[in-house]
Amino acid sequence: MDDTTRWLDADEQESWIQLARLLVRLPAALDSQLRRDAGLTHFEYGVLAALSEQDDRRLRMGTLASFADGSLSRLSQVVGRLEARGWVERCPDPADGRSTIAHLTDAGWEKVVATAPSHVEEVRRLVLDPLTAAQVAQLNRICDRINRAIDPDSC
């Protein structure tokens, strides 16, 4: 046993257990809501939402993989399913023929618009409504600090 290990004290351990539990339960709850209400996984919705937030509703697949926090191979499979449903199209990037652009179609836009209200309501119910405004601001700061510790260059 290495005696330089900084073991968790009781409060830190309880906080870690609560966070680990949240990290498992929240994505599952959001995925369940999206599957039930929209026939989408949370990852699929994230891809559609990321595209919908772009002015031209287009992103390079590599950039989209970063937005969705997924590998290019996983993203390619998901975009293939979204293409089959008519919500996304892929085309070569005219500026760089080695890259592929994902484009949210009009039908995909309509799917995001139809899905967003119930998803936002679930996010409010599960995450924001149980907190005070001060706690929401604190949650934002906490998440930002953790995200910076994970990847200082992505923030």
The pLDDT mean for the chain works out to 94
- In a domain, residue 1? The reply is no
The pTM of this model reads 0.87
The amino acid sitting at 130 is P
Query: Tokens 């892929």, residue?
Result: 90
SS3 of residue 103 by DSSP: strand
CA distance from start to end of the chain: 36
128 in Cβ contact with 120 (< 8 Å) = no
- Cβ atoms within 10 Å of 136's Cβ, excluding its own: 13
DSSP assignments along 72-89, one per residue: HHHHHHHHHHHHHTTSEE
Name the residue range of residue 42's domain.
Answer: 29-154
pLDDT in tens, 45-79: 999 999 999 999 999 999 999 888 888 899 999 99
Residue 10 lies in a domain: no
Number of domains in the chain: 1
